[in-house]
Amino acid sequence: MIGIIDYGMGNLRSVQKGFERVGADAVLLRGPDEVGRIDRLILPGVGAFADGMEHLESRGWIGAIGDFIASGKPFIGICLGMQLLFDSSTEDAPSLDQPVAGLGVLPGRVVEFDVNRGGQRIKVPHMGWNTVAWEGHFALFNGLEPGAAVYFVHGFYAEAVDVDSNGMATATTEYPVGAPFTCAAHKDNVWATQFHPEKSQTVGLRMLANFATL
């Protein structure tokens, strides 16, 4: 059984419907006391980083997420859910030197896109279809070729650090061309995507099906 954390931050039903389309059972979890029956856990989300952390804490999810990940069962964060897995974020922070603390499951900091990123002027938020590149084995992408297109809606992204020393694999997307950012990550039993698999049509549904069988 797949559980989707309901912490009041967004796209729960669309994620649930995505799993239904690939024949996987997924239920919305109203509280951490419901995790015991779950084999795979999803942290989705739309909104601001600080609000997301406050909602998780006030609903008792932070310890439950840590315990679930420690159990070795598959876990995935999607969009805001990916960002919350990192060490911190500058979104709504008092200053760049005082970022908002995240769950600390993945190493790195979440930062805002610079409108002049990569020497080119870009639109923020990054919205629409873009391609994904990765190297080596990335189980979430089984059956897909690098260059597959997925759907994004975000103004912040994760600056993943010390990838090799922390045993974390990452996938990247260029925005703009020539300026890659981390769009997905994998460490042990934890996966994360900045894009929305549930909105990414055939490619995204393949990713959801892969997660359901990890």
Question: 79, 91, 126, 186: which is the annotated catalytic residue?
Answer: 79
Stretch (H or E) spanning 201: helix 201-212
CA neighbor of 143 nearest in space, from 205, 185, 76: 205
CA neighbor of 34 nearest in space, from 66, 68, 80, 58: 68
CA neighbor of 183 nearest in space, from 116, 110, 103, 123: 110
Question: 91, 154, 186, 198: which is the annotated catalytic residue?
Answer: 198
Is residue 198 annotated as a catalytic residue, yes or no? yes
Question: 55, 154, 186, 196: which is the annotated catalytic residue?
Answer: 196
Looking at the annotation, which residues are catalytic? 79, 196, 198
